[in-house]
Structure 1
C-alpha cells in the first residue's frame, strides 16, 4: 500500500551494488554510466523491473537519475526531492546533486577525465536528451550507446509486467477507437508523413480505447505501436495481454520482440517525438530506408483536450470522490490529537474511497505528512517513518482515485488542534494563489507559463515560494500526470478547452510544516464580459474538485472581498452537490465546514 520512504538507506543499496556496477563498467571499457529512472516507454512511472535507480541507490522518487564514475557517483534530483534523497541514499558513496541547477554535462566535464567514455542505454533516454548532452559534452567526453550494465549486475530483477488489456467504453471516451485513429492519421497525412512511432503507453491506450494494469496506480498496458496515415495500426504487445480484446482488423498484433526489426524495415517519412521517443527508435529507423521527421506524438494533444463525454464523466468521478473526502475529513475531525498516525489517516481515506464501490485503484500512493513530514513534497509514509499526528501539527494529505469514469487528485492541509499565526498566514497566502488561478480569464493562446505567477504572487509578496510547478495535466482513467499542459514557468503549450490540470500552490517550511491546496480544473471557453472586446476569445477554468478547505487556517481578514466571495461560493457548491451523497453525521459536519467566512 505504501511506497517506501525510509529515513536511512537500506544496507543492500549503496556500496555493494555500486561496486558491482563499477566492476561491470570496467569489464566493458566504460569510465562511467548514466542510470535514469526511466523505461523504454519514457513514462513517469516504471514497473519494478525498470526501477534501476531505486535498486542501485535506494532513492524512490518519481524523477531523477544517477551518474556513476569509477570514483564518484552523483544522484541528481530537483527541488521536490532534495530532503528525500538525503534521507534515502548512502551519502558516503552517493552525492546528492541539485538538478537542474547543476547540469549533468557540467558535472561529467568536471569529474570525468578527458576522453572518458560514458555509457547510456539508448532505450532509456530520449532523442532530445542525448542530443543536448552530446552537444554540451563536445569532444572531451564521449557517449557510448550500450545495454545498461545495471541489468547485468541485478541478479533478482523482477519479470516484466503481464497484466491483461481491457476495453474502455466508447460512451465514456466520447470517441471510438476508429474515430481517434482517423483523427490522428489525418494529422500525419496533412504533413506528408506515412507513419508515426508511438512509444507512450498512455497514448496507445487512449488511441485504441483500452486500459491495463502494467504499472501500479496507472491503468495502462505497455506496448509500442506504428500509426499509419491509412488509419491502420501495428501494435507490438505480448499476445496474451489481448486475449478477449477486440481491436478490429485495422489493428495488427505483433510480439514486442518484433518491434526493433520492424523499425529497420519502415520506409517513407516517419514521425517520432524527440521528447518522448527513446534514442534507440531513431537509431533503428536510421539503419533502414526511413526518412525521419521530428514532431509531437499525434495522440498527445487530442488526448489532452477532453471530449464532452470525458468531462461529464470526470465530473461524476469528482462528485463521488468529494463525498469520500468529506467522510474522511469528518473522521479526521473526530480523532483525538496524538491518538492517530499518518498511516491511520491513509487507511481511513482509502477505506472511504473503496466504500464508493467504484474505486479501481488509488491514482498514486497517498501522501500523508504531519508536521515536518509535510515539508517533504513527495513524502510517502512507511511503517518505519509513520509519525503520530499531534496537537499543533498541520497534516498534508495529497491523494486521488482511479475510477472508470475519471481520475482524481486532491490535496487538503488540515490543522490538528490550534494552528499558530505563522501557519494561518502561510495557508491563507497559498489559498489566495489558488483563488487567483481559479478566477482568472485569459486571452486565447496563452500557455501555462503565462499564468503560473498568479498562484505564486501572494507568497512572493511575503518573500516565499515553492519548488514545484503549480499544476500538471491529468488524464481520464489514465495517468494522473499527463502532458503537454501544465501550469509551470517552463510550459509553452497553449491552454485549450477540455484540458484538465491541477491547481496546487504550496509552501514548505523544512523541519516544521508543509502546506498544499489542490483542486483539479478544466479549461473552458469563457463567456463574454459586457463591455469587453467583442473580437477577443477568452478562456477560463471550471473547478472540478469538491471538498471544503479548513476554515480554521483561513485568515478571512487577509482575503479581499472577491476572494471571500469565491471561497463562500465554492463551499456552497460543495454543500449543495455533496450533501445528498452523505449520511447524517458526515452531512452535519459538511454543513459546519462550509459556513460562510
Structure 2
C-alpha cells in the first residue's frame, strides 16, 4: 500500500468487517520478545515507527501510538501526527486510554498471542467500566491487509558449543527438574526465545542481531523436554546435540501438547508467556504456577566460562571501537563523515575480527540533535553530517560466540561549549559513582539508580531511561530480570535482587532536545567484594568494557581527586588491554587519549 494513511484505512475496513470498533497493536511477537523478526513488525508497517518499544490503538475515528520517554522525539519524526495521537507511557497506559476513548458497547480486538494475561485483565477491567468489551481474535487483522508480509525466518539452528556455554543442556534441564521438584511442578513452559536458546545450548538467526530461533519448549520434571520448531530448521548436528532426552515436534503442535496437560502442575511465566498459553492451559484443566521460567535466573547469573567469554569478547570488540575512534578523530574534522558512513565504518572495523557473528543491535549513530533521541536509528534518509564543534554519540555492540557487547561513547568534533563539558562531566561523575558502588547482597537495581543521577539532579537535570539493563551471553543485548532503574522509568517492572555473575550496563546520560545527547556506557559484571572487618556479603562491579572516555569533554575542575584517579586508572587499563591489539598509529593515539588527566 502506498502510504501509511492507506494502511490505516485498510485496517479500519478490516476491523469493520469483523464487527470490531478498535484493535490494539503491540510491538512484539508470540514470545513477548523486545526485538522481533520482520514478520512480526506489525507496528512499524502500520505506522512507520522504527523504535523497539511501542503500542498502537486503532479506533473507527481516531488512533493513538504509545511510546516511553526514549522515543518522544523519534515517534514525532516517524509517525504522522495528522493521523495519530502521541501518548506517553507510563503516564498514560493503553488500558486507561481505552477506558477514556472506547464507546458504550464497543468491541476492542486483540491478538491473544501478542499480549500477557496481566494486560488482558487490566484492559478487560478498564473497558468494562465503559460498557465495552475486549475481544480475542482468531487471526490478526493486520496480517489480512499486509499484502507483502514477510514469512518467518527459515534459518537453520546451530549448536552453541559447551566450551562457550560452560554447562551442558542435560545438566541445565536437570537443574530445572530439581527446582520443579521443590515446587511440586510437573512441567515448565519455555516461551522466551533466549530461555530456549540458553536451555538447549542452541542459537539461531530468526531475529536481527539476536541469535535465537523461533521455537517453544516444555521441560518436564524428569529433565526431558518437548521442543517445538519448524522441521526445516533442524539439522542432523542439532538433532544429535539435543539427544534422546528431547522430543522434537513441529512448532504448530505446541498448543495441542499444552492442551494435553490436564491435571498437571505447570509453570508458566506471566511476563514471558502470552495470554493464549495461559488460556490453553486453563482450558486443558492444568494447574498453573504463575512464576518466572526456570531458565531466567540461571541464564542471568553467568558461570565462570561465560564470564571469561564476556571479558575476551569485550577486549576484541574494544579494539575495533578504538580503531574506529582513532579513524573518526582524523576524518571527522575534514568534513564529509555522516552518521551512516560512520556506522558503516565501525561495522567494517568489527568485521575485521573473524569471530564477529553480527551486531548486537542496529548502531545508534547520532550527530548533534539526533543524539538527543536515546534510541535514534539512522537511515539513508535521516543521516546527517558530523559537524565541527558538535557532539557525536555512538552506541553499538557485537555478537561473538563467547559474548555480547554493548558500549556507548560520546565524542566532541572540534571544541565543546562550557555547557557541553558541564553536562558530560555530570554524566561521567554518575557513571563513576555507580561503577565504584559497593552494596550488600540482596540489593535491587532500583536502589542503585540514583547513584548515577545525583549529579544531574543537583543541576535540575535528568534522563528518561533506565540506568542499566541486563545482557546475555551470545544472546539478547537486553536481558532480564536484572536492571538498574527507578520505578518511574521504562523497564522498572524488573526488580530482581542483584546476584554475583549478572551482567549489567552502566549508562547514565543527558539529552538536550534539538541540540545534542550524551551517554557513557560500559558493561559490568557483579562480583563479590571482600571488605576487611566486614560482616555482610558485599557486592561490587567488575568493568568489562575498555574504550577511552573523551577527555576533551571532561571538566576536571568538577571532578574530585578520587574521581580523577578512577578515570586515570580506567584509562591505564584501556591501554594495557587494548593497546596490544592496535597498529602503531592507533596505539599512539590511544596513549594520548588515555594520558593522566591534568
Q: How high is the TM-score relative to the length of structure 1?
A: 0.96
Moved more, 125-134 or 209-218: 125-134
Deviation at 1:348, TM superposition (A): 1.6
Say yes or no: does 1:258 pair with 2:253.
yes
User: Which position in structure 1 is the counterpart of 2:36?
Assistant: 46
User: Which position in structure 1 is the counterpart of 2:489?
Assistant: none
Which of the numbers 290, 293, 300 marks the counterpart of 2:296? 300
User: Which position in structure 2 is the counterpart of 1:449?
Assistant: 446
1:138-185 Cα offsets, whole Å, 9 max, x none, are: 342211111321111111111111111111111211100011101112
Deviation at 1:292, TM superposition (A): 1.5
Secondary structure of 1:143's partner? strand
Deviation at 1:289, TM superposition (A): 2.5
Say yes or no: does 1:395 pair with 2:392.
yes
1:498-535 Cα offsets, whole Å, 9 max, x none, are: 1001000000000000001100000000112x34x32x
Give distance in 1, aligned partners of 2:255 and 2:332. Answer: 59
Deviation at 1:213, TM superposition (A): 0.4
Deviation at 1:471, TM superposition (A): 0.8
User: Which position in structure 2 is the counterpart of 1:29?
Assistant: 19
Secondary structure of 1:234's partner? strand
Unmatched 5+ stretches in structure 2: 487-491
Matches within 5 A, 1:56-455: 56-140=46-130, 141-146=132-137, 147-244=139-236, 245=238, 246=240, 247-267=242-262, 268-337=264-333, 338-455=335-452
Give distance in 2, aligned partners of 1:411 and 1:519. Answer: 7
Secondary structure of 2:586's partner? helix
Contact 2:332/2:386 (8 A) holds in 1: no
Give distance in 2, aligned partners of 1:309 and 1:581. Answer: 23
Give distance in 2, aligned partners of 1:180 and 1:12. Answer: 50
Give distance in 1, aligned partners of 2:42 and 2:344. Answer: 29
Deviation at 1:327, TM superposition (A): 0.5
Secondary structure of 1:23's partner? helix
Contact 1:53/1:59 (8 A) holds in 2: yes
For this pair of structures, how many residues does the alignment match?
584
Say yes or no: does 1:522 pair with 2:522.
no
Secondary structure of 2:179's partner? helix
Give distance in 1, aligned partners of 2:338 and 2:7. Answer: 34
Deviation at 1:240, TM superposition (A): 1.8
Give distance in 2, aligned partners of 1:271 and 1:136. Answer: 28
Secondary structure of 1:496's partner? coil
Contact 1:502/1:518 (8 A) holds in 2: yes
Contact 1:13/1:58 (8 A) holds in 2: no
Deviation at 1:382, TM superposition (A): 1.2
User: Which position in structure 2 is the counterpart of 1:7?
Assistant: none
Unmatched 5+ stretches in structure 1: 1-10
Secondary structure of 1:265's partner? coil
Give distance in 2, aligned partners of 1:410 and 1:214. Answer: 24
Secondary structure of 1:383's partner? coil
Give distance in 2, aligned partners of 1:12 and 1:470. Answer: 40
User: Which position in structure 1 is the counterpart of 2:539?
Assistant: 539
Contact 1:13/1:56 (8 A) holds in 2: no
Give distance in 2, aligned partners of 1:578 and 1:586. Answer: 10
- The CA RMSD measured in Å over matched residues stands at 1.1
Give distance in 1, aligned partners of 2:394 and 2:578. Answer: 20
User: Which position in structure 2 is the counterpart of 1:4?
Assistant: none
Secondary structure of 1:62's partner? coil
Residues 292/415 of structure 1: CA separation in 2 closer, same or farther (3 Å cut):
same
Secondary structure of 2:557's partner? coil
Give distance in 2, aligned partners of 1:569 and 1:353. Answer: 26
